[in-house]
Amino acid sequence: MNGAGGVILTSVLLFAFALALYATRLETRDLTREEMEIASAASALAANDLRDADGRFMPLFVRSASGNGLPPLPVYAAAVSQRVWWMSPTRIRWVAALTGAVNLVLLYILARRVFDSAALAAVASILLLLTPAYVTYSRSVTQDGVWQLPFVTAWLIGFAAFAERSTAPRHWQLAAAVAALGAAIYSAPSAAIMVVILLALTAWIGWRFGIRRNAFLWAGVALFLTLSPAFVWLLRHPAMYADTFGSWLVHPAHIRNPIDWLTTLTNWESLTVIVDVFWDFFSPSHLFVNDQSPGMAGVFLLPMIVPMIVGARETLRAKPGGAGRRVVLVIALYGFVLAGLIGATFKEPRAIQRALVVAIFGALLATRGFESLSDSKTFGARLMVTVLFAAALVQFFAWYSHAMLAANPT
């Protein structure tokens, strides 16, 4: 089935399947401490007519009982979910499951545009659907996790749409894309640094692909408008800065003294740790083979290593294709590498929950790899595609049944 009907039907099927996978037996494990913090902040909001612990009405950033600043998206979504599924605290995990499923549909739409193929779009979605780290965070309400991903995918869709129209560019598409990315700062603590990195990538790709200044101007205005609520709110509640962006992005002391910030950042020992954490993020034992995890699953399934490498290689070769496709694949490649910086700036080893955006980029690169392998039309390449897919499914179910459906680990 082609056209809009096909897209809608596939999207619905993907959404339903993702929800079935992500929302199954959510109650088998007790809420973690981090989940409890969000759940109790959400309960407090719901119980106090949308006022936080400090008595602020509909706060943009919510202060938890333990004093941490929480981003609004998971807290408000959890508050709504508690109204809907009030009978069980673990049901707030439905919010993450829904976010994961929505992002999956968005990725399908993006992949349709990038690969110009319903089959490859489905492959991209299935690869993301089965990514262990993505599944894990689509089943838990943590501060960082799956929340910022729909914004990133929306940004990619907008950017691709804008880049494809090289003759008559529609500036509003880039503006919408950048606005979507900017809105991610309301979703998770790590989104602040992620947005900075991806905006820099946008500017670099835009310069490389010859995007006009006018478009950037529109994008800048859109970004400003998106970030304005946060600016205004923090101006009205400056005490909240230290607990939000102060700990997520730039400490207030460093704003007062940027030289001190620069000195701290470029300090030899600090650089040693940051580089170490960055490199370690990409360790194969983190990304692909973790023998501490059921089924030895890493962030990705092990068979994905082959198509991802092939996809990265093909992207570097820059084979002909539409501008939108090239833009997205180049972003996927560089974004994948830059994502390691997110955890590294927090000096937190293997912080996949902060850099879950690699799941999107990895799925896109792997799909490009599968596309390349399928295009070769040799028996060996096709056999490899089949074997890799089958192996991925086997590993996924081995991992999922033990890691996701089992009760609390002892």
- Nearest CB to other proteins, comparing residues 200 and 275: 275
- The first and second tokens of residue 11, run together, are 């999207």
Task: For residue 32, state whether it binds other proteins (rule: CB under 8 A).
Answer: no
**Which position among 284, 378, 387, 405 is part of the footprint of other proteins (CB under 8 A)?**
284
**Which position among 2, 5, 213, 291 is part of the footprint of other proteins (CB under 8 A)?**
291
- Nearest CB to other proteins, comparing residues 116 and 276: 276
Interface with other proteins: number of residues (CB under 8 A): 18
- Nearest CB to other proteins, comparing residues 95 and 344: 344
Task: For residue 283, state whether it binds other proteins (rule: CB under 8 A).
Answer: yes
Closest CA to 251 of 241, 236, 238: 241
Closest CA to 284 of 297, 275, 295: 297
| DSSP secondary structure, 188-240, as one string | -TTHHHHHHHHHHHHHHHHHHTT--HHHHHHHHHHHHHHHHHHHHHHHH-GGG
Task: For residue 271, state whether it binds other proteins (rule: CB under 8 A).
Answer: yes
Closest CA to 293 of 407, 136, 149, 139: 136
Give, as ranges, the residues between 296 and 335 that touch other proteins (CB under 8 A).
296
**Which position among 34, 243, 280, 348 is part of the footprint of other proteins (CB under 8 A)?**
280
Between CA 330 and CA 335, with CA 334 as vertex, the angle to 5 degrees is: 105
Contact 157, 105 (CB under 8 A): no
Task: For residue 290, state whether it binds other proteins (rule: CB under 8 A).
Answer: yes
User: Segment contacting other proteins (CB under 8 A): 68-76, 270-278, 307-315, 387-395?
Assistant: 270-278
User: Segment contacting other proteins (CB under 8 A): 168-176, 235-243, 289-297, 326-334?
Assistant: 289-297
**Which position among 50, 199, 289, 398 is part of the footprint of other proteins (CB under 8 A)?**
289
> Phi/psi of residue 394, each to 5°?
-60, -45
> Phi/psi of residue 85, each to 5°?
-110, 60
- Per-residue CA distances from 394 to 21, 297, 301, 326, 403 (Å): 15, 11, 10, 32, 14
Q: How far is the CB of 373 from other proteins (least distance, A)?
A: 22
Which residue type sits at 388?
A: L
- Nearest CB to other proteins, comparing residues 244 and 290: 290
**Which position among 17, 209, 282, 389 is part of the footprint of other proteins (CB under 8 A)?**
282
User: Segment contacting other proteins (CB under 8 A): 23-31, 214-222, 251-259, 287-295?
Assistant: 287-295
- Nearest CB to other proteins, comparing residues 165 and 347: 347
Contact 138, 17 (CB under 8 A): no
> Phi/psi of residue 46, each to 5°?
-65, -35
Task: For residue 268, state whether it binds other proteins (rule: CB under 8 A).
Answer: yes
Q: How far is the CB of 275 from other proteins (least distance, A)?
A: 4
Q: Per-residue x/- marks for other proteins, 225-264, CB under 8 A? A: ----------------------------------------
> Phi/psi of residue 52, each to 5°?
-85, -170
Task: For residue 57, state whether it binds other proteins (rule: CB under 8 A).
Answer: no
**Which position among 66, 88, 272, 386 is part of the footprint of other proteins (CB under 8 A)?**
272
Q: How far is the CB of 312 from other proteins (least distance, A)?
A: 14
Contact 180, 155 (CB under 8 A): yes
Contact 184, 230 (CB under 8 A): no
Closest CA to 152 of 217, 92, 201: 201
**Which position among 275, 390, 394, 406 is part of the footprint of other proteins (CB under 8 A)?**
275
- The first and second tokens of residue 56, run together, are 């602020």
- Residue whose structure tokens are 């080893």: 349
DSSP symbol at 295: G
Task: For residue 279, state whether it binds other proteins (rule: CB under 8 A).
Answer: yes
Q: How far is the CB of 395 from other proteins (least distance, A)?
A: 14
Task: For residue 276, state whether it binds other proteins (rule: CB under 8 A).
Answer: yes
- Residue whose structure tokens are 């990315």: 181
Task: For residue 285, state whether it binds other proteins (rule: CB under 8 A).
Answer: yes
Helix (H) or strand (E) run with residue 77 in it? helix 72-84
- Nearest CB to other proteins, comparing residues 53 and 403: 403
Q: What does the binding site for other proteins look like in residue numbers (CB under 8 A)?
A: 268, 271-273, 275-276, 279-280, 282-286, 289-292, 296
